[in-house]
Structure 1
Amino acid sequence: MVRPIAFLAGLGFVFVLLFSLVTGAVAYISEPPAKTAEHEFHLHPKEVSFASDGPLGKFDRQQLQRGFQVYKEVCSACHSLHQVAFRDLKDLGFTDAEVKAIAKNWATEVPSINPETGEPATRKGTPADKIPAPYANEVAARAANNNALPPDLSLMAKARHDGGAYIYSLLTGYQDQPAELLKHFPDAKTPASLHYNPYFANLNLAMPPPLAADGQVTYADGTKSTVDQMAKDVSAFLIWTAEPKLEKRHATGIAVLGFLLIATILAYLSYRNIWAGIKH
């Protein structure tokens, strides 16, 4: 008795599934979804390459230091790096003395407690501290940014599809709204408080162009700081903040593949030797 009931229940489930599939397909064909400005004008990230790309990729330390400089002088005014400590910057090629100086001279001091009064206080940063956020809390961040909350950038390259390419495209993608968009979607005009960028999901974002002109940052290594160069450098830096162990992971992967290759060859030779004298 149980088997027929189970069979009928399964048959009913299949029928409902097929019915839903057919009715959904008919509805889609007869009344296709209306086109939106986001669907028509949103662009995929630009083609850009980084030294860390691919299974053998390695970070360019000079580029990472330039990217950190762009973050420090431009991005850190609004965006935090909650997952990065000052001491982690040694991986970029900074010396211990340089890391100590960076932590001590950071624009925002580290939240602390006054040991004498127990009241909240601030102090100079040390290498052991995480890079402090530019705002005390979310309320202060929204108040300073027209109610928009600047996201933390620590894992941004992992949180967005195409990672570094997306960040680079967003930073270099600000432009005026195309006339074609306003012609077909007059209601999609970018509000005065927002900025048009076709690489952003809904085309409009609250962040004004952070890299507004060439020479905005004076690189310590003498590299010409064009908008394109600064965007590439800070994108590479944010790839590192999201995957600081990328080089070690690549090296481990190559070692494991080499081990598996040698083990496969040894296993094959052992097989040939063991079964050599046995005829089928």
Structure 2
Amino acid sequence: MKLEFCKPKNKLLETYMEGYYFLTQKEDDPTVEYLTFPNNFSIISVYQDTVIEFSENKAIITGKKNNSFSSDLICHYKKPIHVVCKGELNEITFYFKPLGLNSFLNKPLCDFTNDFFSNFIPYDDYTEKMQFILKEKDIETKKDLIEDYWLSKLTPFRHTFLHRVIEDLTNVNNDYSVAELADKYKTSRQNLSKHFETHLCKTPSEFKKIQRFREALKSKIEYKNSGENLTTLSNDLLFYDQSHLIKDFKSLTGLTPKAFFKNITSHQNGKINWLFTQ
């Protein structure tokens, strides 16, 4: 398996998209299995010539010369996803920042997420364009095609308070409760949750929990040689205490922090973090 993560070259696109990666696998490469973990990004994966079998929290992706195209969106998972990759694969996956994908859609995000893995075909020309991009061999041309296409669909999403709420929740120095956020932005907890579920497909509490987990992962990767322990990590990232950190990790990964960090594999300077099971 070959994996390459790219940050957007276009600064405007970088406002909305964290990046995208190319995953390729040869027909005779061994089967790869890994776990991927909850994220606050909206994640779109497109594939050429594959058969994909979905079940709850599992995707089996098998290369097959069938002239097929698949595009799947996931932005609302709370447990690890078990991914199995078999045979020849050609995949591009896009990571949109919180609220980022909304600026490329003509309907609320929740309208695209009826199922756990949602078939995502947002535009009339999407299938044709993505197939063309997937078949392109030159990597730099491929990047340009990707970025030009998404930028052609850009219609900035505006909201009276959600962008500012996200800024508050992604600032590690803040520890707002949902009630405090509602009060700060002159709305009710129920209305705040309604807008989160419509435009982010998760509740404010779920977003906050996943954000803390991701910040802990980022911090541990960045300072892996510093001897940073769980108590320091929990204090720095506004967990109530170490037991709170352990509880959240078990909920989101199925593992204790110690077991998780021992087994996790980070790619592309920590942009992609998978736990390989085979």
TM bucket by the smaller chain? under 0.3
Greater Rg over alpha carbons, structure: 1
Instruction: Identify, as 1 or 2, the structure richer in helix.
Output: 1
Taking structure 1 as the reference length, what is the TM-score of the superposition? 0.23
Q: Say which structure, 1 or 2, has more relative contact order (CA 8 Å, 6+ apart).
A: 1
How high is the TM-score relative to the length of structure 2? 0.23
